Amino acid sequence: MADIETRPELMEKIVALAKRRGFLYPGSEIYGGVGSTYDYGPLGALLKMNVKQAWWKSVVERRDDVVGIDSAIIMHPKTWEASGHLQGFTDPLVDCKGCRKRFRADHLLEGESAGMPGLKERPKDIKEVRCPECGGELTDVRQFNLMFKTFMGPVEDEAAATYLRPETAQGIFVNFANVLQTSRLRVPFGIAQMGKSFRNEITPGNFIFRTREFEQMEMEYFVKPGTDEEWFEFWKGFMMDWFVSLGVKEENLRFQEHDKEELSHYSKRTVDLEYRFPWGWAELWGCANRTDFDLKQHAALSGKDLSYRDPVTGESYVPYVVEPALGTDRAVLTFLLDAYEEIEGGRTTTTESVKEVETVLRLHPALAPVKAAILPLSKKEPLAALAREIRDSLAGRHSVQYDDTGSIGRRYRRQDEIGTPYCITVDFDTPQDRKVTVRDRDTMEQERVPIDDLGPMLAEKVGI
Ligand code: GAP
């Protein structure tokens, strides 16, 4: 258990910053919140959009072998019979007989029971474990299906029962033949989509790490059987490279192979890219070799032929599938945690008596919700008009903020805390030379730049 390094205070700081600066709020807060839901505020919505855009660019736009779709959340109930979710998408549930708290048995075995009195090493059987909250006795394990059930139309009977999708992947499998017919793709090729998924999690928690409503960014890569292992290695490497290219520290990322007993019913092999979250290492992005399981199941239940015929070689087969599946909200949490830095004594204040801890969110410029802040040194003309002119010329191409309130140091600190990579100061020389000072968030270096060069400069610096 000693390997579990925890940084609970970091999580508290991120939650507080997220609320204070408008990244994330507790859902339905005015009614006291509802079951671990969160709403993205103005900055959070921008950050999440940038994360999705970065993923879409790398997985779809830059590749000529991947296309994107956007399928319905409510699917034909047979989908879930075929995929195995109706029968097997369950989590093992235990209740405490004393305090009535509910836990996932697998999580208790994995280490959430760490530090419990009487337990020297990680338990092998749930019977060895007692309630981590009150030490009470636990019930036997019951399997609990995670699908959210609802009814299509006005009558609430079994014939009208449908489910909110627990993964976006099935929307891709049921459209395999449609995409093949309407695009000129040849195996190997991928179909990607991002969107909401729903799971009635027993124990949601750790902020937006595990929620009941969340977003996924998934890609199903269809390959010739026999080439699946090679492609698996490719996409596994891609996952690590993507996070590192967006600034996440390599030492906070690692791969974790699933044991045979841990594998999902459809998987031949699964490797998780894990992040060192404040409570320990946990899954961020899973890569699974789903074989031909899904296509064969959907072919069997729908009666449609979902095999592939190579137009050049004439060979016919059901493709294997390699699936990198990432949670958008988990990615957002990872970027926030990894970017967070506190500087003791600050770096913008030189006066000893007012020195304080300063926060810098070192988000990759492509992910930062605000790309540049325009800061006139005076609210009066002619600086105000020039600053407005700059704001108007950049807005629409970049997300920018205008701030003319408070000392320049305080304004820098406000922007550092939300991760704005560039601050543009309009000063008393600007009316004469039509130049502004651009300050870099990370190096704090300042550069004098002509107003007309700002647009191209930002485009170059904040792109990916
Ligand atoms: N299609 C395969 C699939 O859904 P998964 O490992 O169950 O695989 C993929 O989910 C990713 O979705 C996870 O790695 C995680 O990032 C995210 N995810 C899963 N359940 C989640 C939840 N309850 N809350 C937030 N993110 C979740």
CA angle 241, 417, 391 (to 5 degrees): 95
Ligand 1 atom at shortest distance from the alpha carbon of 331: 16
Q: In terms of DSSP bridges, do strands 372-376 and 400-402 run parallel, antiparallel, or are they unpaired?
A: parallel
Q: 438: closest CA among 426, 452, 456?
A: 426
Residue 337 and residue 277 in contact, taking contact as beta carbons nearer than 8 Å: yes
Counting residues of the chain whose pLDDT is more than 90, the rounded percentage is 84
444 three-class SS: coil
Contact 239 CB / ligand 1 (< 6 Å)? no
- The rounded Å distance from CA 306 to ligand 1 centre is 26
The one-letter code for the residue type at 97 is K
pLDDT (tens digit per residue) in 301-329: 999 999 999 999 999 999 999 999 999 99
Domain ranges of the chain: 4-74+166-337, 90-144, 363-461
Of 16-20, 140-144, 211-215, least confident by mean pLDDT is 140-144
Banded pLDDT at 91 (limits 50, 70, 90): confident
Looking at ligand 1, which atom is closest to the CA of residue 325?
A: 9
Ligand 1: atom nearest CA of 201 is 23
- Region at 135 (left for phi over 0; alpha for psi -120 to 50; beta for the rest): left
Which residues, 6+ apart, have CB-to-CB distance to 131 below 8 Å? Answer: 96, 98, 99, 101, 103, 137, 138
- Alpha-carbon span 7 to 331, nearest angstrom: 18
Q: What percent of the chain has pLDDT over 70?
A: 95
- Please tell me the residue having the least CA distance from ligand 1 atom 20: 210
Residue 117 has pLDDT above 60, yes or no: no
| The two structure tokens encoding residue 103 | 């836990």
Peptide bond into 188 cis (omega under 30): yes
Average pLDDT of the residues in 37-66: 98
Ligand 1 near 211 CB (within 6 A): yes
The CATH fold of domain 363-461: Rossmann fold (3.40.50)
Verify whether ligand 1 is closer than 6 Å to residue 330 (CB atom): yes
pLDDT of residue 112: 59
Q: Which amino acid is at 31?
A: Y
Output the CA 326–ligand 1 centroid distance in Å: 6
Q: Which residue has the higher pLDDT, 125 or 77?
A: 77
User: What tokens appear for 416 in the block?
Assistant: 């550092």
Tell me the pLDDT tens digit for each residue of 218-273: 999 999 999 999 999 999 999 999 999 999 999 999 999 999 988 988 899 999 99
* Nearest of 367, 340, 191 to residue 278 by alpha carbon: 340
N-term to C-term CA, the chain:
40
Interval 342-379: pLDDT, tens = 998 878 766 666 678 899 999 999 999 999 999 999 99
Average pLDDT, the chain: 93
Beta strands in 234-388 (DSSP E): 253-257, 269-277, 280-291, 308-309, 316-317, 320-327, 340-343, 358-361, 372-376
User: Does the beta carbon of 173 lie inside 6 Å of ligand 1?
Assistant: no
**Which DSSP symbol is given to 17?**
H
The residue among 396 and 316 whose pLDDT is bigger is: 316
Check residue 4 and give its pLDDT.
Answer: 40
Interatomic CA distance for residues 451 and 382, integer angstroms: 15
Is 169 near ligand 1, meaning CB less than 6 Å away? yes
Distance from chain centroid for Cα 220? 18
166 Cα to the center of ligand 1, angstroms: 9
Q: How far is CA 412 from CA 69, 96, 304, 342, 464, in A?
A: 41, 50, 60, 15, 24
Instruction: Cite the beta strand spans of 46-129 per DSSP E.
Output: 66-68, 90-95, 102-104
pLDDT confidence of residue 353: 66
Which residue is closest in CA terms to ligand 1's atom 6?
286
Which region among 139-143, 306-310, 376-380, 415-419 has the lowest average model confidence (pLDDT)?
Answer: 139-143
State the CATH class of domain 4-74+166-337.
alpha beta
Longest Cα separation, the chain: 78
Residue 138 gets which letter from DSSP? Answer: B
Residue 2 has pLDDT above 50, yes or no: no
Write the residue with the smallest CA distance to atom 21 of ligand 1: 210
Structure letter (DSSP) for residue 137: P
